[in-house]
């Protein structure tokens, strides 16, 4: 029995490495652009690497570097990171239902730390209870490649000419366009909210110049998301069938 469990764990680890590698390669490319931004904010390679190891969301990490560069207050940075990463609370709650009943408290706690959008997708696609060995292995590989991309981006920003660094920094905007355009094309409500966020951000920068960038981000994120939830609530349905 013990040998069988060991063989299954090894199989899950190999599968985690296999599934985590393509995710990590995509993470490396995105994190390289974030490294350019981190270098512009004045972070050292070690600081950027640690930040990426602990922060697993591209939007949250970009907000972190932007606020550090803007010399925002610590509480503003914490509030923005909390809001931008809030979706992981829901993912953790959903994923906890897929953990095996015998999973320990620390096992569940570790699983909560290992969640990213893509890793969550792997876990929920796993038939039955997911394997912690599989999830942790896929995450560890992807996370180290994510942090490595940030590290390389900062190092490249310190070596490359200023014009090249400026050109590479534009890639982060391409990443955000790649995130918002596909769902906006499929859903007119999302498209309208994206446009409204741009307009509100521009208006706030002109009408409230004394308000810091971090505080504007917190206020607009909460206000727009709350308005969207009230005006356009999602029906509790799945594949055309009402939930019980």
Each domain of the chain, given as residue ranges in start order, spans 2-179, 187-233
Query: Which residue, 146, 143, 139, 148, is CA-closest to 12?
Result: 139
Q: Looking up tokens 């292995």, which residue turns up?
A: 137
DSSP 129: S
H helices, E strands: number in the chain? 12, 2
b/e 72-108 (16+ beta carbons within 10 angstroms → b): beeebbebbbebbbeebeebbeebeeebeeebeeeee
Mind listing the pLDDT tens digit of every residue in the chain (244 residues)? Answer: 556 667 777 888 888 898 888 888 888 888 888 888 888 888 899 999 999 998 887 778 888 888 888 888 888 888 888 877 777 887 787 787 787 777 788 888 888 888 887 888 777 777 777 788 888 898 999 899 999 989 998 888 777 666 666 666 566 566 567 667 777 788 888 888 888 888 988 888 888 777 766 567 778 877 887 888 888 876 644 444 333 3
pTM, whole model, 2 decimals? 0.66
Predicted local distance difference test score (pLDDT) of residue 171: 60
Predicted local distance difference test score (pLDDT) of residue 243: 36
DSSP 126: S
Predicted local distance difference test score (pLDDT) of residue 238: 41
């Amino acid at each position: 029995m013990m040998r069988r469990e060991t063989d299954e764990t090894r199989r899950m680890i190999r599968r985690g490495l296999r599934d985590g590698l393509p995710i990590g390669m995509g993470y490396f490319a995105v994190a390289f652009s974030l490294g350019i931004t981190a270098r512009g904010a004045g972070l050292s390679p070690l600081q950027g690497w640690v930040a990426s190891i602990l922060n697993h969301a591209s939007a949250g990490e970009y907000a972190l570097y932007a606020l550090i560069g803007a010399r925002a207050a610590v509480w503003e940075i914490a509030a923005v990171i909390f809001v931008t990463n809030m979706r992981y609370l829901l993912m953790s709650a959903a994923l906890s239902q897929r953990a095996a009943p015998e999973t320990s408290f620390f096992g569940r706690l570790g699983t909560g730390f290992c969640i990213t959008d893509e890793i969550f997708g792997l876990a929920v696609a796993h038939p039955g209870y997911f394997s912690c060995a599989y999830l942790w292995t896929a995450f560890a590989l992807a996370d180290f490649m994510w942090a490595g991309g940030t590290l390389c981006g900062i190092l490249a920003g310190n070596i490359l000419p200023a014009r090249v660094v400026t050109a590479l920094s534009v890639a982060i905007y391409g990443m955000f366009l790649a995130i918002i355009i596909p769902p906006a094309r499929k859903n007119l409500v999302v498209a309208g909210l994206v446009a409204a966020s741009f307009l509100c951000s521009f208006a706030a920068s002109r009408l409230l110049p004394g308000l810091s960038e971090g505080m504007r981000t917190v206020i607009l994120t909460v206000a727009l998301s709350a308005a969207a939830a009230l005006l356009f609530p999602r029906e509790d349905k799945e594949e055309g069938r009402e939930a019980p």
